[in-house]
Amino acid sequence: MLLTLRVPRSRLYLGRQQHRRLLASTAPEEAKRQATQHPLQLEINGNTYPTDSWTNVTPKILSHLGLNKHLQRDHPLSIIRQRIVNYFYGAYRNQRGNPLFSVYDKLSPIVTVQQNFDNLLIPIDHVSRQKSDCYYVNREHLLRAHTTAHQVELISGGLDNFLVVGEVYRRDEIDSTHYPVFHQADAVRLVTKDKLFERNPGLELFEETWSGSLADPKRILPSSKCMDQTKQPCHTLEAVKLMEHEMKHVLVGLTKDLFGPRIKYRWVDTYFPFTQPSWELEIYFKDNWLEVLGCGIMRHEILQKAGVHQSIGYAFGVGLERLAMILFDIPDIRLFWSNDSGFLSQFSEQDLQNLPKYKPISHYPQCSNDLSFWLPANVEIDAGFSANDFYDLARTIAGDVVEQISLVDKFKHPKTGKTSLCFRIVYRHMERTLTQAEVNEIHKHIADASVEAFNVQIR
Ligand code: PHE
- Please write the tens of the pLDDT for every residue from 355-386: 999 988 656 888 889 999 999 999 999 889 99
Q: How far is the CA of 317 from the centre of ligand 1 (A)?
A: 4
pLDDT at 32 over 80: no
Q: What is the CA radius of gyration of the chain?
A: 24
11, 148, 154, 320: residue to mutate for ligand 1 pocket, most atoms within 8 A of CB = 148
pLDDT at 1 over 60: no
Q: CB-based burial of residue 83 (10 Å sphere; 0-12 exposed, 13-18 middle, 19+ buried)? A: buried
Which residue's alpha carbon is at the smallest distance from atom 5 of ligand 1?
317
pTM, to two decimals: 0.79
Exposure string of 345-375, with b = 16+ CB inside 10 Å and e = fewer, is ebbeeeeeeebeebeeeeeeeebebebbbbb
Q: What is the mean pLDDT of residues 64-87?
A: 98
So what's the pLDDT on residue 19? 30
| Residues contacting residue 3 through CB under 8 Å, at least 6 positions apart | 280, 291, 293, 294, 317, 319
**Residue 247 contacts residue 295 (beta carbons within 8 Å):** yes
Q: How far is the CA of 272 from the centre of ligand 1 (A)?
A: 7
| Cα distances (angstroms) measured from residue 53 to each of 37, 92, 115, 168, 375 | 11, 46, 20, 22, 21
So what's the pLDDT on residue 218? 61
pLDDT at 226 over 80: no
238 compared with 382, residue with greater pLDDT: 238
So what's the pLDDT on residue 209? 79
* Residue 221 pLDDT level (bands cut at 50, 70, 90): low
Rounded CA gap, 409 and 30, in Å? 30
User: Rounded to the nearest 10 degrees, how much is the dihedral formed by the CA atoms of 298, 302, 306, 308?
Assistant: 50
Tell me how far the alpha carbon of residue 157 is from its chain's centroid.
Answer: 24
Q: What is the mean pLDDT of residues 167-193?
A: 94
Q: What is the mean pLDDT of residues 270-293?
A: 95
Residue 170: φ, ψ to 5°: -140, 135
3-state secondary structure the chain: CCCCCCCCCCCCCCCHHHHHHHHHCCCHHHHHHHHHCCCCEEEECCEEEECCCCCCCCHHHHCCCCCCHHHCCCCHHHHHHHHHHHHHHHHCECCCCCECCEEECCCCCEEEHHHHCHHHCCCCCCHHHCCCCCCECCCCEEECCCHHHHHHHHHHCCCCEEEEEEEEECCCCCECCECCEEEEEEEEEEEEHHHHCCCCCCCCCECHHHHCCCCCCCCCCCCCCCCCCCCCCCECHHHHHHHHHHHHHHHHHHHHHHHCCCCCEEEEEEEECCEEEEEEEEEEECCEEEEEEEEEEECHHHHHHCCCCCEEEEEEEEEHHHHHHHHHCCCCHHHHHCCCHHHHCCCCCCCCCCCCCCCCCCCCCCEEEEEEEECCCCCEECEEECHHHHHHHHHHHHHHHEEEEEEEEEEECCCCCCEEEEEEEEECCCCCCCCHHHHHHHHHHHHHHHHHHHCCEEC
Which residue's alpha carbon is at the smallest distance from atom 7 of ligand 1?
317
Residues with CB under 6 A from ligand 1: 3-5, 146, 148, 186, 272, 275, 294-296, 315-317
* Residue 389 pLDDT level (bands cut at 50, 70, 90): very high
Q: How far is the CA of 341 from the centre of ligand 1 (A)?
A: 33
Q: How far is the CA of 159 from the centre of ligand 1 (A)?
A: 19
Report which of 418, 426, 441 is spatially closest to residue 391, judged by C-alpha positions: 426
The single-letter code of the amino acid at 220 is I
Report which of 126, 164, 171, 163 is spatially closest to residue 274, judged by C-alpha positions: 126
* Residue 30 pLDDT level (bands cut at 50, 70, 90): low
So what's the pLDDT on residue 34? 57
Mean pLDDT of the chain: 89
Q: How far is the CA of 67 from the centre of ligand 1 (A)?
A: 23
pLDDT at 27 over 70: no
So what's the pLDDT on residue 144? 98
Question: Given the DSSP bridges, would you call strands 265-272 and 141-143 parallel, antiparallel or unpaired?
Answer: unpaired
So what's the pLDDT on residue 17? 30
pLDDT at 447 over 60: yes
So what's the pLDDT on residue 7? 36
